[in-house]
């Protein structure tokens, strides 16, 4: 993904850096990311889309609206490609989206909304979902394989409570794995039904936080898995992801905090949990979907 | 039949173009001397939040007038800072909505006051009619408030300008 410094983005739009910051405050666009040094960097695609829209626009508001609309086009293309069973075109749509956004934003703004739209339109028992859901999970796994090796201390253990790759929550869980991995923290994922040898694995990995993700597995199964983890590693912070108390008829899980539904927000909360200095920030927002 | 060559009409007169003035689509102020925007940029360097537009001098907003900019689809493109206050809406919340979601005719006795009167006048303006029209409008969701409004074309892209005269 190509990014621009503030001066470069301002030059592309032919405005001053002050104007860019004024637009960020008023229109929330273009929305810069921050470097580790807290400097603003702009996604080239967003700035270019705005430049094109401004060229013959009648106001900055309408130009921003048109620029946003042109970026949202990626979602329509992806839903269309998956509905037509065209995996190669779906890959192309993701490539195009990645040219304009970071991996995280591409997943949050294009892949996950598209796949949820596909499930809403066609149902998660449809052939389109069978192809689209699996395509999304494989895309996220491919992206995860390209993630650099863990560079930060700590391991997050994810107890995967989804049914399989066609579970409606599977793409979000894979996205959470990807996002946490991209922060440099090691992530290990284990289905909650696999308890044999779990204690050896936990002793080897020494996780600092545990996340139970997905709604398919029952509370009994999850409780046994969590007990086995805690038996090996002692008391560990545990949180739920896509398994909020509001999602299902559960009583035991209700006492455990839930991470936000957005993988980006959930990653920040998981890291806070891992660092041990903050209770996951739900947690007020955890039930949001 | 052979095509007739074009020729000048003897004694014909070209109607003089109405003088156009530039103003900012947000603060409504004209670009002052010495504050010409950078080459290729139409962004107002006074407020940074509007694009410089142009309109016939008879229609262009005067200092501190509220106005609404509409595109050829009659969707709201922009509101001046004053219009946001007068109409009680934020520009970002109404942009791309149909203009009649925001303003409707309030003069039931004139032709322009008919339900489609405003749309017809706006369409004519976006098509380049330089003839300024005057209408009585009110906010779409509010009774008891009426504005006299000047309606006319604005540019550089084809658009229409509704300037609310607040007295």
Pull the structure tokens for residue A50.
Answer: 């705005």
From CA A153, how far away is CA A185, in angstroms rounded? 6
Q: What is the ipTM of this complex?
A: 0.81
Q: Is the pLDDT of residue A157 over 70?
A: yes
Q: Which of B40, B45, B92, B162 would best serve as a mutation to test chain A binding (most A beta carbons within 10 A)?
A: B92
Chain A residue numbers touching B79 (CB-CB < 8 A): 61
A171-210 residue pLDDT tens: 999 999 999 999 999 999 999 998 888 888 888 888 999 9
Packing angle between helix A198-205 and helix A219-233, nearest 10 degrees? 50
Q: Is the pLDDT of residue A2 over 90?
A: no
Q: Is the pLDDT of residue A287 over 50?
A: no
Pull the structure tokens for residue A35.
Answer: 């470097």
What is the pLDDT of chain A when averaged over all its residues? 85
Cβ–Cβ of A59/B69 closer than 8 Å? Answer: yes
pLDDT at A37: 83
From CA B162, how far away is CA A88, in angstroms rounded? 49
- Of residues A14, A18, A65, nearest to B95 (C-beta): A65
Tokens 């936000």 identify what position?
A260
Cβ–Cβ of A58/B157 closer than 8 Å? Answer: yes
B165, B147 contact by CB (below 8 A): yes
Confidence of residue A120 (pLDDT cuts 50, 70, 90): confident
pLDDT at A245: 53
- Of residues A19, A57, A59, nearest to B48 (C-beta): A19
**Confidence (pTM):** 0.60
B136-164 residue pLDDT tens: 898 988 888 888 999 999 988 889 999 99
| Beta bridge partners of residue A210, listed in sequence order | A157, A238
B25, B53 contact by CB (below 8 A): yes
Pull the structure tokens for residue A133.
Answer: 């859901």
The larger pLDDT score, comparing residue A61 to residue B35, is at: A61
B4-59 residue pLDDT tens: 777 766 666 666 667 888 899 999 988 866 455 555 678 888 888 999 998 998 89
Nearest to B160 by CA among B121, B134, B111: B121
Give mean pLDDT, residues A255-268.
Answer: 89
From CA A111, how far away is CA A106, in angstroms rounded? 6
A205-243 residue pLDDT tens: 889 999 999 999 999 999 999 999 988 888 889 999 998
A260, A288 contact by CB (below 8 A): yes
The larger pLDDT score, comparing residue A160 to residue A284, is at: A160
Give mean pLDDT, residues B120-140.
Answer: 87
Quickly list H helices, A56-197.
60-83, 87-98, 103-106, 112-122, 127-145, 170-182
pLDDT at A91: 92
Cβ–Cβ of B92/A16 closer than 8 Å? Answer: no
Name the closest residue on chain B to residue A18, using Cα atoms: B48
Backbone angles phi, psi at B31, to 5 degrees: -70, 115
Shortest alpha-carbon distance between residue B111 and chain A (Å): 29
Shortest alpha-carbon distance between residue A13 and chain B (Å): 8
Chain B residue numbers touching A61 (CB-CB < 8 A): 77-79, 91-92, 95
pLDDT at B113: 56
pLDDT at B110: 63
pLDDT at A137: 96
Domain ranges within chain B, ordered by starting residue: 56-165
Q: Which of A23, A27, A59, A66 would best serve as a mutation to test chain B binding (most B beta carbons within 10 A)?
A: A59
Query: Radius of gyration of chain B from Cα atoms?
Result: 18
- Of residues B25, B40, B48, nearest to A59 (C-beta): B25
List of domains in chain A? 1-146 (1.10.1660.10), 150-275 (3.40.50.2300)
A10, A16 contact by CB (below 8 A): yes
| Residue B134: Cβ-neighbour burial (10 angstroms; 0-12, 13-18, 19+) | middle
From CA A155, how far away is CA A142, in angstroms rounded? 21
First CA to last CA distance, chain A? 28
Name the closest residue on chain A to residue B40, using Cα atoms: A14
Give mean pLDDT, residues A56-70.
Answer: 87
Cβ–Cβ of A14/B77 closer than 8 Å? Answer: no
CATH class for domain B56-165?
Answer: alpha beta
């Amino acid at each position: 993904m190509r990014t621009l410094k503030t001066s470069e983005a301002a030059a592309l739009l032919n405005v001053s850096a002050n104007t860019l910051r004024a637009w960020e405050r008023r229109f929330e666009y273009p929305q810069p990311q921050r470097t580790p040094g807290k400097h603003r960097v702009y996604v080239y695609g967003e700035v270019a889309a705005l430049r094109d829209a401004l060229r013959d626009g009648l106001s900055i508001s309408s130009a921003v609206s048109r620029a946003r609309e042109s970026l949202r086009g990626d979602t329509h293309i992806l839903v269309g490609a998956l509905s037509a069973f065209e995996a190669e075109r779906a890959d192309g749509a993701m490539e195009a989206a990645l040219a304009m956004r970071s991996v995280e934003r591409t997943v949050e703004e294009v892949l996950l909304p598209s796949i949820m739209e596909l499930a809403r339109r066609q149902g998660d028992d449809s052939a389109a979902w069978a192809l689209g859901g699996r395509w999304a999970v494989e895309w996220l796994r491919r992206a995860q394989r390209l993630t650099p090796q863990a560079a930060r201390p700590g391991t997050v253990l994810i107890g995967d409570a989804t049914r399989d790759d066609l579970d409606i929550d599977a793409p979000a869980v894979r996205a959470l794995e990807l996002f946490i991995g991209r922060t440099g923290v090691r992530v290990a994922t284990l289905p909650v039904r696999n308890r044999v040898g779990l204690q050896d694995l936990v002793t080897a990995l020494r996780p600092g936080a545990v996340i139970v993700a997905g709604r398919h597995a029952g509370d009994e199964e999850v409780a046994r898995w969590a007990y086995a983890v805690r038996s090996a590693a002692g008391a560990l912070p545990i949180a739920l992801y896509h398994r909020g108390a509001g999602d299902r008829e559960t009583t035991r899980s209700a006492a455990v905090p839930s991470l936000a539904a957005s993988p980006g927000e959930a990653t920040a909360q998981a890291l806070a949990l891992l660092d041990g200095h903050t209770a996951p920030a739900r947690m007020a927002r955890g039930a949001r979907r | 039949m052979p095509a007739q060559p074009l020729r000048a009409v003897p004694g014909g007169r070209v109607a003089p173009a109405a003088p156009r003035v530039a103003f900012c689509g947000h603060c409504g102020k004209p670009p002052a001397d010495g504050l010409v925007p950078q080459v290729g940029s139409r962004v107002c360097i006074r407020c940074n939040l509007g694009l410089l537009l142009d309109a016939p001098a008879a229609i262009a907003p005067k200092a501190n007038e509220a106005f609404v900019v509409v595109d050829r689809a009659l969707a709201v493109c922009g509101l001046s800072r004053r219009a946001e206050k007068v109409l009680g809406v934020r520009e970002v919340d109404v942009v791309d909505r149909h203009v009649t979601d925001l303003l409707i005719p309030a003069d039931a006795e004139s032709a322009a006051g008919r339900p489609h009167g405003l749309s017809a006048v706006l369409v004519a303006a976006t098509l380049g009619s330089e003839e300024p029209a005057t209408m009585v409008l009110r906010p779409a969701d509010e009774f008891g408030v009426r504005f006299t409004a000047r309606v006319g074309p604005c540019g550089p892209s084809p658009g229409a300008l509704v300037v609310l005269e607040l007295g």
